[in-house]
């Protein structure tokens, strides 16, 4: 038996025939699996209690107990383990009972058994890995879109998040309105992943990005031959999302003809595929989103009044970023952390001057524009914090932004930039020490420096005199 290695699939093979155990052991070793062997059902049951297996392969007919008994024991002791049964006899009765008890496969010991077993094992383990990855992604999504995980401490966002918590427990249709970039899709996902539908699919489509014919096919699906290029039948998003949630983004961009078709789905929760005659019933939650004023569009006859009232059951208005001033700093720091990890750059903070400019800017592109601004700054920044120089010209020129420090003119004969910067650092550190009564830890915090960095430069510049400060602070 090979040593246990993390990440390797582990298999238990059970058969009372020594020759079969030897043959399958050779196969499993050749394919790189970790494995154990058992010569009878009782031995297999004990091994399952002592070890966690990804896959158990057991013969059905054995002297002491049947493979079906082993299967029952595995389901009781280790429900996450996949079980495959093998038999020298092809029996429909055994196959039905095995599947009923939870077996994932049944392979007959025919002349091509070894090759067939190799393929079946690979397929079962691949499916198992996909299931695990799908579960991991769903858990990550649920965590990401938890209401308490969404950044928003301003009164306007607290009101939105409170409404999301209440709405999520219902199946009512929701209309999310707000300017572009305010995070309407984030809120739609929060409604879904905090609801009883969270295990079912969440699908979204931008209604304004597709012409009517393609949008209809995407939403409702189509049958083979219904139009040129329809070489196969295809399920639409409404069908794919059965049991879950569909986000109709930019619903204000739909044509009046498409609005009629959407109205029927909202009213009756049924539809026909393009070119089809069968009525398909679905259980869905519909969330619509728009950056347009639908009430004005209703008055202008550009949006159907009956559809508006159907989707406007629970309205949620996303406030623009300029109305949630308190959220700019935590959002910027959130994006800083995200891009620091993805870009692998040691940038850990935003300078006070740069943050002042971010807060003074009006953000016409809202949260999405702020995200892009931080990404740009992270990409351009050469120091270990985001400075004003990495911000765009529009942000630096915003009314109310802190005035930039006026640079001294560069002498005609040039200058020693590094020496000049050293002098400025020395001066700022000296001023910080004086303001902190000589306590280095406090002076370092006032400059946004780590204690180690401050102590290094203080020694370099000879600033650590009789009031060097003290021992390293406990939080450093």
SS (H, E, C) the chain: CCCCCCCCCEEEEECCCHHHHHHHHHHHHHCCCEEEEECCHHHHHHHHHHCCCCEEEEECCCCCCCHHHHHHHHHHHCCCCEEEEEECCCCHHHHHHHHHHCCCEEEECCCCHHHHHHHHHHHHHHHHHHHHHHHHHHHHHHHHCCHHHCCCCCHHHHHHHHHHHHHHCCCCCEEEECCCCCCHHHHHHHHHHCCCCCCCCEEEEEHHHCCHHHHHHHHHEECCCCCCCCCCCEECHHHHCCCCEEEEECHHHCCHHHHHHHHHHHHHCEECCECCCCCEECCCEEEEEECCCHHHHHHCCCCCHHHHHHHCCEEEECCCHHHCHHHHHHHHHHHHHHHHHHHCCCCCCECHHHHHHHHHCCCCCHHHHHHHHHHHHHHHCCCCCECHHHCCHHHHCCCCCCCCCCCCCCCCCCCCHHHHHHHHHHHHHHHHHHHCCCCHHHHHHHHCCCHHHHHHHHHHHCCCCCCCCCCCCCCC
Q: Which of 205-209, 254-258, 317-321, 429-433 is predicted least confidently?
A: 429-433
> CATH says 323-396 is which class?
mainly alpha
State the chain's mean pLDDT as an integer. Answer: 85
CATH class of 10-138: alpha beta
Query: Which comes out higher in pLDDT, residue 420 or 191?
Result: 191
For the residues 75-101, what does the mean pLDDT come to? 77
Q: How confident is the model over 379-419, as pLDDT tens digits? A: 988 888 898 888 998 998 877 666 655 456 677 777 777 77
Class of domain 145-319: alpha beta
Would you say residue 250 has pLDDT above 70? yes
Q: Sorting pLDDT into bands at 50, 70 and 90, what band is 168? A: very high
Per-residue pLDDT at 203 exceeds 60: yes
pLDDT value of position 149: 76
pLDDT band at 32 (very low <50, low <70, confident <90, very high): confident
Average pLDDT over residues 106-133: 84
pTM, two decimal places:
0.62
Residues of the chain with pLDDT > 70: what percent?
A: 89
* Tens-digit pLDDT profile for residues 132-144: 766 666 655 555 6
pLDDT of residue 143: 56
> In this predicted model, what pLDDT tens digit does every residue of 287-306 receive, in sequence order?
999 999 999 999 999 999 99
Q: Which of 37-51, 165-179, 408-422 has the highest mean pLDDT?
A: 165-179
């Amino acid at each position: 038996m090979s040593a246990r290695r993390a990440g390797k699939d582990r298999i238990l093979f059970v058969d009372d025939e020594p020759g079969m155990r030897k043959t399958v052991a050779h196969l499993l070793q050749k394919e790189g699996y970790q494995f154990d062997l058992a010569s009878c059902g009782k031995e297999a049951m004990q091994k399952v209690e002592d070890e966690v297996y990804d896959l158990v392969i057991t013969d059905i007919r054995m002297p002491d107990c049947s493979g079906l008994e082993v299967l029952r024991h595995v389901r009781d002791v280790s429900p996450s383990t996949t079980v495959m049964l093998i038999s020298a006899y092809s029996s429909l009765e055994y196959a039905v009972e095995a599947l009923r008890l939870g077996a994932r496969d049944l392979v007959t010991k025919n002349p091509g058994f070894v090759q067939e077993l190799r393929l079946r094992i690979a397929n079962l383990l691949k499916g198992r890995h996909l299931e695990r990855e799908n579960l991991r992604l769903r858990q990550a999504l649920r965590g990401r879109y938890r209401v308490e995980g969404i950044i928003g401490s301003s009164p306007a966002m607290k009101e939105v998040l409170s409404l999301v918590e209440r709405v999520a427990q219902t199946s009512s249709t929701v209309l999310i309105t707000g300017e572009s970039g305010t995070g309407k899709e984030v809120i739609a996902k929060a409604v879904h992943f905090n609801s009883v539908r969270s295990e079912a699919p969440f699908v979204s489509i931008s209604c304004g990005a597709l012409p009517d014919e393609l949008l209809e096919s995407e939403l409702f699906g189509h049958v083979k031959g219904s139009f040129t290029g329809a070489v196969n039948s295809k399920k639409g998003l409404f069908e794919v999302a059965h049991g879950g949630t569909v986000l109709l983004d930019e619903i204000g961009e739909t044509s009046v003809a498409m609005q009629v078709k959407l109205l029927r789905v909202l009213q009756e929760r049924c539809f026909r595929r393009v070119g089809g005659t069968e009525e398909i019933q679905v259980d869905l939650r519909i969330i619509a989103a728009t950056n347009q004023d639908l009430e004005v569009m209703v008055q202008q006859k550009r949006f159907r009044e009956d559809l508006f009232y159907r989707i406007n059951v629970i309205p949620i208005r996303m406030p623009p970023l300029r109305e949630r001033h308190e959220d700019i700093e935590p959002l910027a720091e959130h994006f800083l952390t995200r891009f620091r990890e993805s870009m692998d750059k040691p940038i850990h903070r935003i300078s006070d001057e740069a943050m002042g400019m971010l807060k003074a800017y009006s953000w016409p592109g809202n949260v999405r524009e702020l995200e892009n601004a931080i990404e740009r700054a992270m990409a351009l920044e050469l120091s270990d914090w985001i400075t004003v120089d990495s911000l765009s010209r529009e942000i630096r020129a915003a009314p109310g932004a802190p005035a930039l420090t006026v640079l001294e003119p560069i002498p005609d004969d040039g200058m020693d930039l590094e020496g000049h910067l050293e002098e400025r650092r020395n001066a700022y550190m000296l001023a910080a020490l004086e303001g902190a009564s000589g306590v280095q830890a406090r002076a370092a915090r006032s400059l946004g420096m780590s204690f180690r960095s401050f102590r290094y430069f203080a020694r370099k510049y000879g600033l650590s005199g009789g009031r060097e400060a003290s021992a390293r602070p406990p939080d450093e």
